[in-house]
Amino acid sequence: MKNILICAAALCLFTLNVFAENKIHGSNEFSVNYNNLDGPGKTSSSLTQGARYLENLNLYGNGSKNSWNYNYSFGLKATDDKKNDLKTFSLTNLNSKITNNIHTLNTGDVFESFTRYSLGSPLKGLSYNLSPKNKSSFNITALHGIAYPRWDSFWGDPEVKTVKRTVSGIRTKKILTDDIEAGFNYVFTKDTDRQSSSDGLYDAKTYSFDFEYDPMPGLTVNAERAQSDSDYSSSAGTAYSSSKGHATRIEAIGDGYPSRVVMEYENVSPYFISLLGSAISDRRKFKSSWRYNYSKKTTMNWSFLWYRNNLDSQLTSTTRSWKPQIGIAIKRIFPKRRYSFVDFYYKFDQQYGAGQSSSNHYL
């Protein structure tokens, strides 16, 4: 295959001072690519034959009014190359935020991270945050939106249409003492608009309690306990089935020069569902790592990971894995080469159970 690529690009930046305290910033990037593909392998090329254009327009604004500050952003993309985007015209981002440092309202593209198990995914909707100046009061975040990956999914175009996942959630957080902070989280999700008969739909609720404890300088302990209650329909015409599960995570971090030690224990039951968080069901895990700064140029690292499945004995056999690793990193190994660097490590990876066993060595 022979490929000839010709590319031309133009970037335009501009700023407008609309009023003394209000500004609009913009950028527009336009590029043209020409690909000439030849030979027996041209059909498998990731490039598109001929001339194709790509246009990206972004606007950003910010300002203030009395005690309120606001900002907003808006982005559009246009292209005739399906390898860049399925749609010729698409809305890439849309967001606005207004705050007086106590009350904050976000609309459009919203990303509110509650906890690992409850919520850590972006939404398209709105969120409200209350952050009282009195630190002993509750900090509250509430949100509602749809977990669409693209704005185009709202228009109903079959190319980008997906299952509609409506999300509502609330997080409350409070400082209990000088060294303890606790929070409660609730997230509800409901799926509708099945696009094909094989699409699965969830109605799920996740409750989570988390806390952080700083018993002494350089030591932090944080933990989370979550419970899920979900109904699931695997395909059209299939009745919903219910399941409940739980997840627990405890992490201790010791960070005092020259060492940093992290230890984590996690237990996730087989039927725990985290649609917008992060969890691997049916897993008990222990993970630890130690980083030691031997000198300004030398750092030693050690880590260990062990996990297993079949926590409720719902499978016929159990698979266990363990992965120890040790390494050393040295900066400026050649005195006259400022950025010379070497990272040397050894890792052992073993899995056994279910009548099978495998071991791998990495150097």
Beta strands 259-268 and 241-256: pairing type? Answer: antiparallel
Are 117 and 235 members of one domain? Answer: yes
Question: Does residue 135 belong to any structural domain of this protein?
Answer: yes
| Alpha carbon distance 43, 106 (integer Å) | 46
Question: Does residue 309 belong to any structural domain of this protein?
Answer: no
pLDDT of residue 338: 86
| Long-range contacts of residues 144-148, Cβ cutoff 8 Å, at least 24 apart | 144/168, 144/169, 145/110, 147/121, 147/122, 147/123, 147/189, 147/276, 148/124
In tens digits, the chain (363 residues) has pLDDT values of 455 656 666 777 766 665 546 889 999 999 998 988 888 887 788 888 889 999 999 999 999 988 999 999 999 999 999 888 889 999 999 999 999 999 999 999 999 999 999 999 999 999 999 999 887 889 999 999 999 999 999 987 788 889 999 999 999 999 999 999 999 999 999 999 999 999 999 999 999 999 999 999 999 999 999 999 999 999 999 999 999 999 999 999 999 889 999 999 999 999 999 999 999 999 999 999 999 999 999 999 999 999 999 999 999 999 999 999 999 999 988 888 888 999 999 999 999 997 889 999 999
Residue at which a domain ends, from 96, 128, 157: 96
Q: Which domain holds residue 250?
A: 101-281
| Alpha carbon distance 169, 138 (integer Å) | 16
Residue 158 sits in a domain whose CATH number is: 2.40.160.100
Are 74 and 187 members of one domain? Answer: no
Question: Does residue 286 belong to any structural domain of this protein?
Answer: no
Asked if residue 167 lies in contact with residue 151, where contact means CB atoms within 8 angstroms, the answer is no
Are 173 and 270 members of one domain? Answer: yes
List the one residue out of 159, 252, 272 whose CA is nearest residue 205: 272
Give the single-character DSSP code of 240.
P
Buried b (16+ CB within 10 A) or exposed e, 275-299: bbbebebbbbbebbebbeeeeeeeb
What are the strands, taking DSSP E only, across the chain? 2-19, 22-38, 50-65, 68-79, 89-99, 103-110, 123-130, 139-146, 164-177, 180-192, 201-216, 219-233, 241-256, 259-268, 283-293, 298-308, 319-331, 341-353, 356-362
Are 129 and 77 members of one domain? Answer: no
Question: Does residue 178 belong to any structural domain of this protein?
Answer: yes
Question: Does residue 264 belong to any structural domain of this protein?
Answer: yes
List the one residue out of 305, 319, 290 whose CA is nearest residue 349: 305
pLDDT of residue 4: 60
Are 128 and 239 members of one domain? Answer: yes
| Alpha carbon distance 228, 332 (integer Å) | 50
Are 198 and 227 members of one domain? Answer: yes
pLDDT of residue 208: 97
Q: Provide CB contacts within 8 A for 329, sequence distance 6+.
A: 298, 299, 300, 301, 341, 342, 343, 344
Are 149 and 207 members of one domain? Answer: yes
Are 246 and 159 members of one domain? Answer: yes
3-state secondary structure of 82: coil
Question: Does residue 310 belong to any structural domain of this protein?
Answer: no
pLDDT of residue 6: 63
Q: Provide the number of structural domains found in the chain.
A: 3
List the one residue out of 310, 306, 304 whose CA is nearest residue 354: 310
3-state secondary structure of 270: coil
pTM of the model: 0.86
Question: Does residue 85 belong to any structural domain of this protein?
Answer: yes
3-state secondary structure of 151: helix
Q: Provide CB contacts within 8 A for 288, sequence distance 6+.
A: 261, 262, 263, 264, 303, 304
Question: Does residue 288 belong to any structural domain of this protein?
Answer: no
Are 14 and 85 members of one domain? Answer: yes
pLDDT of residue 355: 82
Sign (positive or negative) of CA dihedral 35, 39, 41, 44: positive
Residue at which a domain ends, from 47, 64, 96: 96
Are 119 and 262 members of one domain? Answer: yes
Backbone Cα Rg of the chain = 26
Are 219 and 112 members of one domain? Answer: yes
Are 300 and 337 members of one domain? Answer: yes
